[in-house]
Amino acid sequence: MNSNRLIFLDTETTGLSADNGDRILEIGCVELLNRKLTGNNLHFYINPERESHEDALKIHGISNEFLQDKPKFAQLTNEIVSYLSGAEIFIHNAPFDISFLDKEFSLCGLQPFASFVASVTDTQTMAKQLFPGKRNSLDALCDRYGVDNSNRKLHGALLDAELLADVYICMTRGQDALLMDVALSKEERINTNKSDFSVIKLPTILANDQEIMEHNLVLEQIDKASSGKTVWNNLDSHPV
């Protein structure tokens, strides 16, 4: 398994409940290798063999007519499994998508989704740990991290997977820099952070006559405002 191969996955469905017969009508996946987008994406529109609920249609906007000539999930399983096999999967609100994927795989006589992949991470759970008590929808995270989601007028599986990959990179930015090289000894790590400041000579820049005059003027104004109670007037002006 390639542990550096991360796949960001999203689905669109005919409704909210796989157990009640709702189906996947779109799947989108984006691949990340070594924190870089590879362009090796996977995207299918799928004939769900049933119509979308009205509320779901308002979310994804994919009409029943558009999906009629698209392949059924069973026709795509080999390609989907081959693409996802052994990868680390990241999904926003993973239990929802996994319930639908498990149902589709079950209808095809296959093992559950998790059996084909290295791991599944719910990025919504990650976000809740980073921002407890705040909104952690994909749109909210895009706004928080400055990820451009202006094209997200409707939900789309591939677009949402791409946005999720961008959000994940922002969420984990700097993480690698915090990792210490365990191969170095303690003494080597300490020496690596040492700096020799003895070789640095800082220049001495003296105030000119104009700057001294302006400084003294400010001191006089402060002394006047405090009715002569400024501390420096009570100090010995001669060196000890």
Whether residue 93 lies inside any domain: the answer is yes
User: What pLDDT sits at residue 228?
Assistant: 76
Residues 126 and 45: beta-carbon distance below 8 Å: no
Q: At 121, which helix (H) or strand (E)?
A: strand 119-122
Q: Minimum mean pLDDT among 6-10, 156-160, 178-182, 222-226: which range?
A: 178-182
| pLDDT bracket for residue 95 (50, 70, 90) | very high
Residue 79: which of 110, 42, 45 has the closest Cα?
42
Q: Higher-confidence residue: 196 or 96?
A: 96
Q: What is the mean pLDDT of residues 186-212?
A: 63
Question: What whole-number distance in Å separates Cα of residue 184 and Cα of residue 104?
Answer: 49
pLDDT band with cut points at 50, 70 and 90 for residue 176: very low
Question: Residue range 75-82: average pLDDT?
Answer: 98
User: What is the enclosing helix (H) or strand (E) of 63?
Assistant: none
In a domain, 31, yes or no: yes
- Please report which confidence band the pLDDT of residue 196 belongs to, taking 50, 70 and 90 as the band edges: low
Residue 212 lies in a domain: no
pLDDT digits 0-9 by tens, 183-192: 444 444 444 4
pLDDT band of 239, cuts 50, 70, 90: very low
70 has a pLDDT exceeding 90? yes
Q: Is residue 170 part of a domain?
A: yes
Whether the pLDDT of residue 204 is over 60: the answer is yes
- Res 213: pLDDT: 83
pLDDT of residue 179: 36
Beta-strand relationship, 119-122 and 88-91: parallel
Q: Is residue 10 part of a domain?
A: yes
CATH of the domain at 157: 3.30.420.10
pLDDT at 178: 34
How confident is the prediction for the chain on average, in pLDDT? 85
Range of the domain at 174: 5-178
Q: Respond yes or no: is residue 155 known to be catalytic.
A: yes
Domain count, the chain: 1
Q: Are 50 and 37 in contact (CB under 8 A)?
A: no
pLDDT over 60 (residue 180): no
Q: What is the pLDDT of residue 234?
A: 66
Average of per-residue pLDDT across 43-55: 96
Query: What is d(CA 71, CA 104) in angstroms, rounded to the nearest whole number?
Result: 14
Catalytic entry in 43, 92, 155, 215: 155
Q: Residue 223's pLDDT is what?
A: 76
In-domain check, residue 29: yes
Give a yes or no: residue 30 inside a domain.
Answer: yes
pLDDT digits (tens, 9 = 90+) for 119-174: 999 999 999 999 999 999 999 999 999 999 888 877 899 999 999 999 999 999 86
Is-above-0.85 flag for pTM? no
Q: Does residue 59 form part of some domain?
A: yes
> How many of the other CB atoms lie within 10 Å of CB of 143?
12
